[in-house]
Structure 1
């Protein structure tokens, strides 16, 4: 199977090749024909599966370059994901379409100025989009397609009411595409409310094969010695690029300071870090100017960086799905990766749940640290 078979434009296919993408992923093979056929879809797919291009490619080639209408709306739960989708859209914008990324932390005035030039595709977080809709600076009456990306995170972050308000501004008949890492009753309820007899595509079973590319280990310690354990692990591994996950913003702040005291310079991203600073940090990380990135789960949505060799779970994730999401940041595009979960006794229950899901016991790594007060 190739992109030509999926009826993707020759110009786009050539551009994909230039960016090292030759063959479609499983999700792209399944989703692209459905998007072209204007089918409503609920797609269960993990981050890193190529889902963004599965909806972007058919959308980008379908819009008339002479159109001044806003025809496509892509909703994202976080600014980082909105930026990532926007970057991909601009990379493959063969018809020079008007593309606007609208999210909090970005100057509203510059967004309004860009809107005057005619916008075909809007990529937005719910809050900022509602701001524009209420100002009447954006009109959605000519929409043909709505994409709700990371639907499970949208609901987890409390955006249900915002999505309902946004959908009230759209025409009754639009193609609706809903992407989610998990599909529970809440996601289905949200999706079915705005869909016409949707097809459900679940490709997660086919994605499990990605996990064996990731070497997983666990280090058992106490919270008091976690920083020392992480420092020793980093010293032994000497990772090329690593993401360190913390459960809260406060923990991320503290870890950045503690690592700096040990001579490891890491940059943190979470919702309290100013947006322009977060964008600079992410750009530097993508360019390998930053070796260590400290992130919370929410801020990490949309981090899709090739070359990440190590994932360190400084804090245990809240659930199995969060763990799978975290470790999926490494071993991209068939590469191998390494992940280490640093856990204390109070989180052994989460470790057991993860091992039960994976159906194997994660090997324990011995780390010798000097426990001097």
Structure 2
């Protein structure tokens, strides 16, 4: 039985890369597909987005090929964003190998991509249109391909790439290993399998992810990576959490976060695979008894937690697979109780979160981080509840005579002084309200009437917006350059003003017109 990646016969340098990523146990699609792929068989892997497919085919591909003077593997993906994501994942998996990758897609400088390929690569990752363009220019040759991967194949067919895919497949040698991953199995997939894959290909199907419980309210915060810790502290301070699990992806992340929170005087404990069994049992017992209100854990360690009264789950880091998200959220909202789940994402991770939302049939609501006032009010509420408990027990009656001696004009000062003496540490915090408490991803997509055909590139458009639009860099998001037009994401509060400021201004000799696009992000 496969329990860890070490149970799989992957190349040692690839194993090292996987371990550096913090992964110990393979996901279902990884555990089932990797052994078959290592046997050299063609496969169709049917699994949802976010189940760890990239690591499944990437780990085998990078284990089996060697550095050479030709392209040994090609990975086709439907979109630029997914191609970039695959490229980044390959970089992490292959960190300790000497293999070279290139990621190619439209809307980016083809000259730079050509130079990278000519310099020598082992793996080509790209969208069908750009790969075909490079093949026509005789920059890319597939005659020595050993691995051919189609990722999100059903999406490529839905986007009308079927002819492009068949053209590229027809140019590759027959004696190659073909790997196809898809969430669904439309007729087009079957056609590709029958015509371009070995007849004894293996079809691996992973059961779809279940839905999250309706008793759990799910919220998310968009926070820059370097501000995530402060964001977490704000959320912990502003919300009453009787019992909370904070999830991290790796043991190292768990240890680091525990140290940071303990240093800030939060009462926390942690659980992961490197902690001995006795310590884990003691920690779990304290958590069940609410002697420790906050537990930081990895997904694997949390499998042994069976507590019905957990009020909050916090995803400090997104899980590797969508299914893990469901398991995490399932820790709260049990036994008829209502639960709350908070997820922290960087601006770049918002797209991944929305994929999880779609595949798990969940509904996420974006929130602003708590402000300084929110945090003070929450802390003050706790103090007043303490006071109310004293009053409910009648313990204040012995002090009525003392209170009667206080002059009316000094009652407010005396009360404030007593609060200071007894609660100053509990009410203290060091937060300043700034852009961190505002939504980070409130951008408007702007259409620009020129593109690469007019010799416009990202740098030129960025400088134009900074100078003519009078914007700061942090007010400009993604820039996408197409042949005859471009898109740029601009902070909503600045978008209309920029459209007016830039009307009929020029980038070089090209008159520019901006307008708010129909697609709003």
Scaled by the length of structure 2, the TM-score of the pair is 0.43
Contact persistence 1:56–1:89 (CA under 8 A):
yes
Is the partner of 2:6 in helix, strand or coil? coil
Measure how far apart 1:266 and its partner are. 2.5
| Residues 172 and 98 of structure 1: CA distance in aligned 2, closer, same or farther (over 3 Å) | same
Number of residue pairs aligned between Structure 1 and Structure 2: 248
Q: What does residue range 87-236 of structure 1 map to in structure 2 within 5 Å?
A: 87-93=88-94, 94-197=96-199, 198-203=201-206, 205=207, 207-209=208-210, 211-212=211-212
| Residues 201 and 237 of structure 1: CA distance in aligned 2, closer, same or farther (over 3 Å) | closer
Measure how far apart 1:272 and its partner are. 6.9
Measure how far apart 1:214 and its partner are. 8.0
| Residues 268 and 185 of structure 1: CA distance in aligned 2, closer, same or farther (over 3 Å) | farther
Contact persistence 1:28–1:51 (CA under 8 A):
yes
Aligned-CA RMSD value: 3.6
Please tell me whether Structure 1 or Structure 2 has the larger radius of gyration of its CA atoms.
Answer: 2
| Residues 37 and 159 of structure 1: CA distance in aligned 2, closer, same or farther (over 3 Å) | same
Give the Cα separation in 2 of the matches to 1:272 and 1:156.
Answer: 25
Give the Cα separation in 1 of the matches to 2:22 and 2:163.
Answer: 40
Measure how far apart 1:212 and its partner are. 3.2
| Residues 180 and 239 of structure 1: CA distance in aligned 2, closer, same or farther (over 3 Å) | closer
Give the Cα separation in 2 of the matches to 1:271 and 1:191.
Answer: 41
Give the Cα separation in 2 of the matches to 1:79 and 1:112.
Answer: 17
Listed as ranges, the gaps of 5+ residues in structure 2 are 219-339, 356-437, 452-456, 463-473, 479-521
CA-to-aligned-CA distance 1:306-335 (integer Å, 9 cap, x gap)? xxxxxxxxxxxxxxxxxxxxxxxxxxxxxx
Equivalent residue, structure 1, for 2:288: none
Larger RCO (CA under 8 A, 6+ residues apart): 1
Is the partner of 2:108 in helix, strand or coil? coil
Equivalent residue, structure 1, for 2:56: 54
Q: What does residue range 1-373 of structure 1 map to in structure 2 within 5 Å?
A: 1-65=3-67, 67-93=68-94, 94-197=96-199, 198-203=201-206, 205=207, 207-209=208-210, 211-212=211-212, 240-241=344-345, 264-267=439-442
Measure how far apart 1:58 and its partner are. 1.0
| Residues 157 and 216 of structure 1: CA distance in aligned 2, closer, same or farther (over 3 Å) | farther
Measure how far apart 1:268 and its partner are. 5.4
Measure how far apart 1:97 and its partner are. 1.0
| Residues 97 and 245 of structure 1: CA distance in aligned 2, closer, same or farther (over 3 Å) | closer
| Residues 139 and 239 of structure 1: CA distance in aligned 2, closer, same or farther (over 3 Å) | closer
CA-to-aligned-CA distance 1:249-277 (integer Å, 9 cap, x gap)? xxxxxxxxxxxxxx755255989799969
Listed as ranges, the gaps of 5+ residues in structure 1 are 219-235, 247-262, 281-289, 295-373
Give the Cα separation in 2 of the matches to 1:270 and 1:175.
Answer: 41
Is the partner of 2:119 in helix, strand or coil? coil
Contact persistence 2:29–2:47 (CA under 8 A):
yes
Is the partner of 1:190 in helix, strand or coil? helix
Contact persistence 1:69–1:119 (CA under 8 A):
yes
Give the Cα separation in 2 of the matches to 1:43 and 1:174.
Answer: 17
Is the partner of 1:96 in helix, strand or coil? coil
